[in-house]
Each structure stands twice: as structure tokens, then as C-alpha cells.
Amino acid sequence: MKNNGSKILFLNPPSTQQVFRDCYCSDISKGPFFIHPLDLQVQSGWFAQAGYEIEFIDAVIEHADAEEITRRILLLKADVVLSLIGEAVYENDCRFLNELAIQNPNQRLFLTGDIARFEPQKVFDAIPRAEGILMDFTSAGLLQYLEGSTHEHLMTRESNGSAVLKKGSYSHPVASEKFAGTYTYQLPFFRTPRYYSLLSSYGCPFRCAYCNVHQVGYGVRETDSVLEEMRLATRLRFKSLYWRDPTFMVDKKRTFDLFDAWRAERFSFEWIAYTRPDVVDEEIIRRAAEMGCGTLLFGVETYDEKSLKQASREMESEKVRSVFELARKYGVRTASFILVGMTEQIKAESPKFSDMTQYEKRLSTFLDSLDPDYISLNVFHERPGVKANTPILQAMESQREALRVLASRITRRFYLHPRRIARNLVRLLYPKQWGLLLKIVYRLILPAR
Ligand code: SF4
């Protein structure tokens, strides 16, 4: 490919905490897991296609500090930097990026991330040298802006426009091989922990009140574009795939069309995906298992149907239970994602959740009835773009610290249960997982803080 003479650096900035900041969500990782910075990966495709020289630094996975990263950036002499920024470590990110701008005054700086996408003015005020904010990380908005053409997904200080929401179908180029070829990220869900991330859709068609993902719209990526990326992953010798769609397999026909095309190409991956229990049925789970699905990550949230309804997420516990059973029937492992404290009880007992014991018992009984292989207990907070606009969310927001301790206690008890330990011993059959397993055990035996 012809080099157009410009160099762009994709940057996941340094942090003393193990943070992730992509896909408009930032948080501190609960385990020794590293997730690809997907915003940057997707953008690398647009810029590689346009002939830019690509550079990539992920300071988080490298455990590199601000001083070292600044020194390396100065040496790279990139014309443009596209950096992630995250609400979870906002002060840290502002400090680093402002310092970088002082040391490197001729470099143009652009941002992507939750706080930038949902609170652009606040970020422009805090980082005076930021020239623009990418409002849709799958779009060519930044490239179009740099090339002087019309751009609707790149917000600048001068543009007052609001972000354009995604709808219909869309496409973007596959990641730059220079970018994705360096990946060493690992997850414990796979027999071969080194994995590749990709998207088959952007945003979400649902409207859960505690989530910001649907606020970017919803679009589905054209199948040819998805297959092209699977070919790249095959070429780069990845055996494991992580579908990063916020909700995978929403539309049954589209899902089966994708499976058919993927089977025709003879791809062979072990894969995982996030989805909702109420969008899958026996046929989907059976076909997913045939296509190599190893684990489904289900957004379950709670046993309390009333609180789900109030958050615009109607879902019957009985349906949830039956889907976990079906997954077991077809040999697909499951993860249950819970929003800890999501119950009418917390509202009734606000401002102080006085009888957590009762809630803890009910949640543990519910989890036992699902019998997932993994759990992830999350604590609600007003992420950028989200307002605690129901009494339950307000009660959860005001009791975050107590809920965090509770989540930690339930998680330790879950994984240290002899039945789970016995079930996880099978992983010892896969030597590539040993290093990760040791790190997970270390995290679990740390006392709950
Ligand atoms: S289904 Fe998941 S991604 Fe979609 S709005 Fe609800 S919580 Fe967000």
C-alpha cells in the first residue's frame, strides 16, 4: 500500500491501574484480563487503507509509566495521535495528555472514549490541545476531517452539532495487520487464551435505563466486512475469537446467515460473545455450539423481575434459567453478569440497605439455580451518558461502597466453592492457561476490601 507520508499513533495511555477504556465503557479490570482497545483497532483499518503509517502503543498491557510512554511518543514523531480517554481514570488521563501536549506542541491530538463521547465539552475544557473527538469509533470521521472532507462523526471545538446516531447497516475495513499482529492479550475463557476481538454490530437496539450503549444508536456490520475480518484473524493465526458486540445474535435470521457464510469459509474458532438470555433459544444455542461457541456471557442483572421492568428490561427469571440449562445441554459454558443490588428491596430500605443478608441469600440461591461457570458482579454508577433516573438506580448509586464489598464477598464464595474448583480443574488440561489461572487464584485469595 502506498504511504501517504503521514504517521498516526493509536494510544492507550498509561495508568497505574489496570483500566480498559474502549467501546464507550471504562472501568478497572476485575481480574488479570486485558481487552483489546477496539476503538483504536477499528480506526487502524481506516488509516491503513488510506496509506498512513501506523504506530500503536498500549501502555496498559505494557505496564509502562507516563515518563517512558512520553519519551517513546516523542521519538515516534507521529503527525496525529488518537488516544483513548476513560471516565474511570479521567484525572489521570487529562494530566497525562496535557503534559504530552506541552512536550509535543506540534502533534495533533484527537480523543475517543466514554467521557469524550458523552461529555465532549467537559473534555475540550479539560484538555485545551485536544482538536477533536471521535463520536462513532467505527466511522471514517477522523480520517475525513484530516483529509478536509465532510465529516459527521468527528466533533471539533467549533462544531456545535450533536453526534449522529448509527442505524441500518455499515461497514469498516479490517484492522491494520501491523496493529493486530502485535496482540498478546489473553482471556481465560479459551483453550488458547490469545484471542482476537471483532464486531458484527455497533450499539444496541434495547433501552436498558442503566446503560449508555443504546445511546449511540444501533447498526449491523455487513456480512462481507465481518468475514473479511475473520479471514484476517485466521491469517494472523488466532484460534480464539471474542465477539465484542454489546448484544450478539439479536436477529435470528441475520445470525444464521452469518453462521452459514462462516461455515462456507471453513473458519475454525473457539468463540465467546455477550448476549441477553431473552434473545436466544434452543436452535440458536445448538447452532452456536456447532460453530465453536465455548462460552456465552449473559446479561442477567437480577432475579427481581419488577426491578428489571422499571429499568426497561423486561425479562422472566424462568426464561433465564431455561437458557442456562440449554447452554449446559449443548456444552456451552456460561457467565452470568449481575448488577449487584438491583432489587425492589434496596429501594424500600433506602437510604441504607439494612438487610443485605436477605438479598445476599436470594441472589446466591438464584445464582445456584442458574449454575453458571463464571459470574461477574458489577456495581452501578452513573456512567457518562447515564442518569440514575429510577428510585432503584438512585439507591444503588448512593450505596456503591457497600455493594462493592458485597459483590466481592459473593464472587469469592462462588469461585472458592468446591464444586466450582472441581469444575475448573479441567482447565489444567490446557497448559496455555496455567499462567492466567495462577493470576486468577491470586486475585481471589486476596481478602475482600
Ligand atoms: S441489552 Fe445490554 S448493551 Fe443493550 S442497552 Fe441493555 S444493558 Fe445495554
Residue 338 DSSP symbol: E
Over 289-334, what HEC string results?
Answer: HHCCEEEEEEEEECCCHHHHHHCCCCCCHHHHHHHHHHHHHCCCEE
Q: Is 211 in the pocket of ligand 1 (CB under 6 A)?
A: yes
What pLDDT is attached to residue 448? 41
Contact 262, 230 (CB under 8 A): yes
Contact 138, 42 (CB under 8 A): yes
User: Which residue's C-alpha comes closest to atom 3 of ligand 1?
Assistant: 246
C-alpha cell at 62: 505494557
* 411 CA → ligand 1 middle, Å: 22
* DSSP labels, 336-365: EEEETT-SHHHHHTTT----HHHHHHHHHH
What pLDDT is attached to residue 418? 86
Residue found by looking up cell 456480512 in the block: 223
Choose which residue among 23, 206, 312 to substitute to test ligand 1 binding: the one with the highest number of ligand atoms within 8 A of its C-beta: 206
Q: Is 246 in the pocket of ligand 1 (CB under 6 A)?
A: yes
In 3D space, the residue among 360, 344, 276, 347 whose CA is nearest the CA of residue 313 turns out to be 276
* 276 CA → ligand 1 middle, Å: 8
* 30 CA → ligand 1 middle, Å: 20
Contact 265, 223 (CB under 8 A): no
What pLDDT is attached to residue 432? 65
At 69, which helix (H) or strand (E)?
A: helix 66-76
* 132 CA → ligand 1 middle, Å: 27
Question: Which distant-in-sequence residues (6+ apart) come within 8 Å of 306 by Cβ?
Answer: 344
pLDDT tens for each residue of the chain, 449 residues long: 556 789 999 999 999 999 999 999 999 987 778 899 999 999 999 999 999 999 999 999 999 999 999 999 999 999 999 999 999 999 999 999 999 999 999 999 999 999 999 999 999 999 999 999 999 999 999 999 999 998 889 999 988 666 789 999 999 999 999 999 989 999 988 999 999 999 999 999 999 999 999 999 999 999 999 999 999 999 999 999 999 999 999 999 999 999 999 999 999 999 999 999 999 999 999 999 999 999 999 999 999 999 999 999 999 999 999 999 999 999 999 999 999 999 988 877 766 777 788 899 999 999 999 999 999 999 999 999 999 989 999 999 999 999 999 999 999 999 888 888 887 777 666 666 666 566 665 555 554 43
pTM (2 decimals)?
Answer: 0.93
User: Which residue's C-alpha comes closest to atom 6 of ligand 1?
Assistant: 208
Contact 205, 248 (CB under 8 A): no
* 277 CA → ligand 1 middle, Å: 12
Determine how many CB atoms are found less than 10 A away from the CB of residue 72: 15
Chain-centre distance of CA 54, in angstroms? 23
Choose which residue among 211, 212, 218, 249 to substitute to test ligand 1 binding: the one with the highest number of ligand atoms within 8 A of its C-beta: 211
Q: Could you check whether the bond before residue 372 is cis, i.e. omega within 30 degrees of 0?
A: no
Amino acid identity, residue 345? Q
Chain-centre distance of CA 409, in angstroms? 24
Q: Is 276 in the pocket of ligand 1 (CB under 6 A)?
A: yes
What pLDDT is attached to residue 447? 45
* 204 CA → ligand 1 middle, Å: 6
Contact 132, 107 (CB under 8 A): no
Q: Is 339 in the pocket of ligand 1 (CB under 6 A)?
A: no
